[in-house]
Amino acid sequence: MRLLRKHSTPDLDQRLVWQCASLLLSYPDEGRLDTAGQLLAQLDGPVAEHLSLTVTALQAADPLQAAQDYVASFDLRRRATMYLTYWTAGDTRNRGGAMLSFAQVYRGAGVAPPADEAPDYLPVVLEFAATVDPEAGLRLLAEHRVPIDVLHQALSEKSSPYSHAVAAVLATLPAATETDMRRARTLAADGPPAEAVGLQPFTLTVPPRRTGEESS
């Protein structure tokens, strides 16, 4: 799969990667995994190999263990958060405006922001890019490449199978610049901006409870 250049229009393969990755990076569910496998069958090359590693690992996992691993990988480790504005704005008053920008892009494409999830949540952004507005979705992803790089690094350090799905997403984005790489290293070392005031009404740093966790 070719890397995208600035202003390129996403093709079908890139949209398939985004939809497949969205499913794989969502809370583990047998139906989502089956659909991801069907999408994967339409892809080939290195990106397909990345996605296949995640699919194979999740298929082999016990469902309860897979759910526990997912929560431990993403919900309990801030370095591996999939809330993209957390890395660009942290717990500061700027984060509300950053998330509002995502919501405005969705509305501009004719769809309502998700009611049960934050608009900057990576699986949501990937599904929007795959199924609603590929060009606007690509811009959101490319603008937040550094947080996605940080996420990939954190997952790779833990040998998480989810790291391969994130690697597939990165392969569809414009190549990182030296500035991008420096920012990623700085964020990974120092963490996001901190200012625990001014977030109302945006209080989404702690991920919402997902279906299936109610009785755990």
pLDDT value at residue 51:
98
β-sheet bridge partners, residue 194:
91
pLDDT-based confidence at 95, cuts 50/70/90? confident
Q: Which residues contact 89 (CB under 8 A, 6 or more apart)?
A: 95, 97, 98, 192, 193
- State both tokens at 194: 């901190």
Helices (H), the chain: 12-24, 30-40, 45-60, 63-70, 84-89, 94-108, 122-131, 134-143, 145-157, 162-171, 178-190
- Specify the DSSP class assigned to residue 2: P
* Identity at 121, one-letter amino acid code: Y
Does 31 have pLDDT greater than 80? yes
Q: What is the mean pLDDT of residues 3-19?
A: 74
Residue whose tokens read 């390129």:
8
Structural domains of the chain, with CATH: 10-190 (1.10.3480)
pLDDT value at residue 191:
62
pLDDT-based confidence at 15, cuts 50/70/90? very high
Count the alpha carbons within 13 Å of 28 in the hemisphere toward its beta carbon.
23
CB 129 within 8 A of CB 160: no
Judged by DSSP in three states, 148 sits in helix
Interval 171-191: pLDDT, tens: 999 886 777 677 767 766 666
* pTM of the full structure: 0.80
pLDDT value at residue 180:
64
Residue whose tokens read 């109302």:
200
Q: What is the mean pLDDT of residues 49-53?
A: 97
